[in-house]
Amino acid sequence: PRGFRPVLDPAGKLRLPSYFVDRGIPASVAIEYGVGECRGGDYDGRVLIPAYDPDGVLKTFQCRATDGREPKYLSAPVRRGSTLLGLKQAAGAEEVVLVEGPFDVLGCARSGARAVALLGKTISPAQCGLVEALEARVVILLDPEAGSDVAKVHRALAARGVAAEVATLPA
């Protein structure tokens, strides 16, 4: 969007917003995922995490307020449930963690794991197809408050023949 500044500028200078630094997102992960911040425009004052398909085509992005304002998240105008964030980076991985949000994906990447985010707690038929196409072992790891949504995601994937395990985080 207008005003977007990637963490790596055209001259190769690193501009890692403190919001990423404070959350322990290393520069290498920020660069790989193409994150940045918006200065001006509709998403002014927010960090941005893009979502690409496996061929590198931008599908959507999610922006997060860094100053406590609401709404906390704003997304590009796209049909909800039509893509997964982290899909490009997860392509070819043997194991993929299915998570809720963009910072979950970046956190997994920080630890060396590949993840894709639903951008919510539910999974659409289109997203099931994208997970299936990864041909990877899948670990569903949603936030503890996701409750029964975890089982719904697991059933939706199983209906597509995707073998998935469920992992839980401590409260």
Q: List pLDDT tens digits, range 24-46.
A: 999 999 999 999 999 999 999 99
Phi-psi bin for 56: left (phi > 0), alpha (psi -120 to 50), beta?
left
Report CA Rg, the chain: 16
What predicted TM-score, i.e. pTM, was given to this entire model?
0.94
pLDDT tens per residue, range 126-151: 999 999 999 999 999 999 888 899 99
Nearest to 142 by CA among 111, 163, 160, 116: 116
pLDDT tens per residue, range 56-91: 899 999 999 999 999 999 988 777 789 999 999 999
